[in-house]
Amino acid sequence: MTDDEVIFADDLGWFSTVREALLTRWVAQARYVARDGRPLPIACRLAEDATAPANGHLSIPCSLGHEADEIEAFLGDARHDADPLRFLRFYLFLIGEFANQIKATYESLEWDAPSPPKSVRLWTNKYAKHRMDLLVQHHPKYFFEDNPHSAPYRSKLVAHPDVLIVDPARLPEKRSQANLRKYCVVIVPPLRTFWDRVIDYYTDFIRCAQGRAGDLSAFHSLNHNAEMRGLVELLRNTEP
């Protein structure tokens, strides 16, 4: 991020508070306390309900749990606090792909798959994945609604005749807009709005799977733990 990309970027102290709030919401909603007292991703509840750990594992909750753990680790990384734009892009990548993997899991189980949250899908595709379209056409400034210093100016920004509000979800637009003599601005909504939609999509899948546990048996590996021990021994005992 350069100093002239984010409006009111002279004080970024607010961003750590936003990131930490996202982490708190994630831990509160995407984890549960297992029977043995450990905090685990809520996907692991499917394995706990269906099979004892000693009998192997279910690859679906295991895989979703790994994805959830990566998001949690990202949200807990304070190194992003100095660069809200970098955080935004990676954040959208992670939660957007997480939603896509949930949809793919529905399809693997041959269940009717609801579409991932539309706003998350559009921002992920149009901003995180294909940001060049936005930059080439507009090279915009960014207005974070999470920033308490900028909040009082939102209505002025939207109404000002010299400002063009650019919505990444509506790209591509007419190329001629790149030459307009206006300040091009992207308004970034509160980051929790993206997360709220994804956690709803995630928990809806968990509830659906809990009611259809029999379908998960095709993804139950009875000898998973033994497989790893056997593989290690195989490698150790194999001549180079």
pLDDT band at 60 (very low <50, low <70, confident <90, very high): confident
Residue-wise pLDDT for 110-123, tens only, equals 999 999 999 999 89
Q: pLDDT per residue over 90-111, tens digit each?
A: 999 999 999 999 999 999 889 9
Query: Going by C-beta distance under 8 Å and a sequence separation of 6 or more, which residues neighbour residue 47?
Result: 53, 57, 58, 61, 62
Of 128, 74, 73, residue with least CA distance to 97: 128
- Write the CA distances from 92 to 44, 76, 174, integer angstroms: 24, 15, 25
pLDDT score recorded for residue 240: 62
Average pLDDT value for residue range 39-45: 79
Averaged over 42-59, what is the pLDDT? Answer: 63
- Which amino acid would we find at residue 32? Y
Across residues 206-216, what is the average pLDDT? 83
Q: Measured between alpha carbons, how far is 63 from 53 in angstroms, rounded to an integer?
A: 15
Do 188 and 86 touch, CB atoms closer than 8 A?
Answer: no
What digits encode the pLDDT tens for the residues 149-189? 888 899 999 999 988 887 776 665 555 555 667 888 889 99
Neighbour-count burial for 19-31, b at 16+ CB within 10 Å, e otherwise? bebbbeebeeebb
pTM across the whole model: 0.82
pLDDT (0 to 100) of residue 137: 63
Quick one: pLDDT band at residue 191, thresholds 50, 70, 90? very high
pLDDT of residue 170: 67
The length of the chain in residues reads 240
pLDDT at 216: 76
